Structure 1
Amino acid sequence: MLYELGITSVTMHGLRHTHGSVLLYKKVSIYYVSERLGHGDIETILLEYSHVVRELRVEGEAATTATFENMVVYKMCKMDLKSIVFYLKLKNQKKR
């Protein structure tokens, strides 16, 4: 019947893998996911779910870059000395 409707079946293993992937995408601890799926260590998760881990790493790198780009020190490093002095004077005036 599934075949006639054009629906592919999903195995229990497929459901288990989907469950693990969804947990990882939801940012659930890799240690918890490993324990929940009955793996002895996270190495199995890193190998079996490498596609998810890779995508999350890219997201993490983008978030880290955005965080540092918004920090005052990072912005000051991109300025010349004259601009830094002006920025600090302006910042001190706003505090008064």
Structure 2
Amino acid sequence: MIVRILTEGQFEVPDTLVDHLNELDNAVLAALDSGDEAEFRVSLAALLGAVRAGGTPVAHDYLGTSDATLPFEDATLDEVRELLQHDGLIPG
């Protein structure tokens, strides 16, 4: 799976990490639903950190599409809501 973090680039994430990313995505969604800014910040940082730690940066000249697009670290709740798909930020 190719995951883009806005303003940072793309990461190739192994299939073995996708379930964990979905758990972290659910925590971001719960924080968005409740409007809890502090929990949103913690959850988003955890999701982005997991992608950075478990993924491999994709070459800058790669022209393929991303399977998921994640917000930048300082995104607002409203900016993240605009990125949401029907199943959250991470598909699956």
Report the TM-score when normalising by structure 1: 0.30
Q: Mark the structure with the bigger radius of gyration.
A: 1
Q: Name whichever structure is richer in strand by fraction.
A: 2
Report the TM-score when normalising by structure 2: 0.31
Ranked by relative contact order (alpha carbons within 8 Å, sequence separation 6 or more), the top structure is: 2
Q: Name whichever structure is richer in helix by fraction.
A: 1
